[in-house]
Copies of this chain bind each other. A is one copy, B any other.
Amino acid sequence: MTHRIAVIPGDGIGKEVMPEGLRALEAAASRFGIALELAHFDFASCDYYAEHGKMLPDDWFETLKDFDAILYGAVGWPATVPDHVSLWGSLLQFRRRFDQYINLRPCRLLPGIKSPLADRKPGDIDFYVVRENTEGEYSSVGGKMFEGTEREVVIQETVMTRHGTDRVLKFAYELAASRPRKKLTSATKSNGIAITMPWWDERVAEMGKRYPDVTVDQFHIDILTANFVMHPDWFDVVVASNLFGDILSDLGPACTGTIGVAPSANINPEGTFPSLFEPVHGSAPDIAGKGIANPIGQIWSGAMMLEHLGHKEASDAIVSAFEAVLAEGDRSVLTPDVGGSGTTESLGRAIAARL
């Protein structure tokens, strides 16, 4: 059985890390006898926008919908296309139209990567953020009144549905139930956001009845971000709305020092549509073109993709490979962000060689 993968490098360093992501992926595939068929696309990038005046071709949905997965680099080039145009025109379309309602990100201390937190070592921090990925605070509903005048009022609606909320809660409870600590933390703000958030709390409690083995707690988002810094060891699985999950899944990797290398999975658990895997780092205009971006985020995203496709062993092998290269700490191989003098390619090759 061949897995058909759509490969979309996107913008900036996305184009630089993708070749290394593929190098590791192909090394793992050949070692574990996995058949991959890769198709490359140049859309969903600001270069494409410059040429076509839109981020995606009209038939993008048809073109992509039968792939088994999408491996994405990064999107965004604010110098030419405003972020809300490039993002709403690509990534956010994928998430919605392919109903990738789970955004999953691991937060883990890695060997050889310095955490900004004091006195933490690999093993101390190891949790997942499960983010609702299709609705909530990211809505296009709203508008302006008295526009351009002193009386201007701007309204944006947060829209949550039971359908959309319960399914992400279910995924998070299942994930927590599958892990040794069986602990779920819900991000809320029911003391300030008076309609959606008390309701979110009710749904968390309701779904919890089906998972008596899972211990649940909740924190308001303000103190929760504080606890990520003060007590990252408290967390096992954290579930959050679209916006809160967006924040926590950048903050979590920041606390482990891995924001430049963290992966993320945009999952349609039913497999009705392809899921999408991308590094957390964006297109990083400041270092784009220099060939020094760290490719581990892209490589790790490929590992998450393999796990999603049923190849847990191959996925683990990729993770072990980059952990080993990081632990080894050969400065000539590592990229500058992790203290080396190497390049995207040197680090990518070293990881692939391990495989």
Residues of chain A at the chain B interface (Cβ within 8 Å):
76, 82-84, 87-88, 92, 114-119, 137-140, 142-144, 149-163, 189-199, 221-223, 225-227, 229-230, 242-243, 246-247, 249-251, 253-255, 259
Q: Is the CB of B250 within 8 A of A223?
A: yes
CB-contact partner of A87 in B158, B191, B223, under 8 A: B191
5 A-B pairs with the lowest CB-CB distances in the bound complex, closest first: A226-B254, A83-B191, A152-B162, A222-B250, A118-B118
Q: Is the CB of B192 within 8 A of A92?
A: yes
CB-contact partner of A222 in B82, B196, B199, B247, under 8 A: B247
A218 CB to closest chain B CB (Å) equals 11
A-B contact pairs, 27 of them (CB 8 A): A82-B198, A84-B190, A84-B194, A84-B197, A88-B194, A117-B117, A118-B119, A137-B192, A137-B193, A138-B192, A142-B196, A151-B162, A151-B163, A155-B157, A155-B196, A156-B157, A156-B193, A156-B194, A157-B157, A158-B158, A193-B243, A225-B247, A225-B250, A225-B254, A226-B250, A226-B259, A229-B251
Closest to A254 in B: B226
Given known A-B contacts A82-B198, A117-B116, A222-B247, A193 and B138 have beta carbons under 8 A apart: yes
- In the complex, besides A192-B242, A225-B247, 10 extra interface pairs with C-beta distance below 8 angstroms are A115-B118, A142-B196, A143-B195, A152-B162, A154-B195, A156-B194, A157-B158, A222-B246, A226-B251, A251-B251
Q: Is the CB of A243 within 8 A of B192?
A: yes
**Chain B residues, CB < 8 A from A254:** 225-227, 229-230
**Chain B residues, CB < 8 A from A117:** 116-118, 229
CB-contact partner of A153 in B137, B161, B189, under 8 A: B161
Given known A-B contacts A198-B84, A226-B254, A259-B226, A158 and B159 have beta carbons under 8 A apart: no
Q: How many copies does the complex hold?
A: 2
**Chain B residues, CB < 8 A from A163:** 150-151
**Chain B residues, CB < 8 A from A149:** 162
A214 CB to closest chain B CB (Å) equals 21
**Chain B residues, CB < 8 A from A160:** 153-155
**Chain B residues, CB < 8 A from A259:** 226, 230
Closest to A120 in B: B118
How many angstroms from the CA of A149 to the CA of B162 in the assembled complex?
8
**Chain B residues, CB < 8 A from A194:** 84, 88, 138-140, 156
Closest to A198 in B: B84
A55 CB to closest chain B CB (Å) equals 13
Q: Is the CB of A161 within 8 A of B157?
A: no
A266 CB to closest chain B CB (Å) equals 14
Interface centre among A92, A154, A162 (most CB of B within 10 A): A154
Closest to A140 in B: B194
CB-contact partner of A116 in B155, B192, B199, B229, under 8 A: B229
Given known A-B contacts A226-B254, A246-B222, A155 and B158 have beta carbons under 8 A apart: yes
How many angstroms from the CA of A302 to the CA of B144 in the assembled complex?
40
A228 CB to closest chain B CB (Å) equals 8
How many angstroms from the CA of A191 to the CA of B82 in the assembled complex?
8
How many angstroms from the CA of A248 to the CA of B225 in the assembled complex?
8
Q: Is the CB of B250 within 8 A of A199?
A: no
Closest to A227 in B: B254
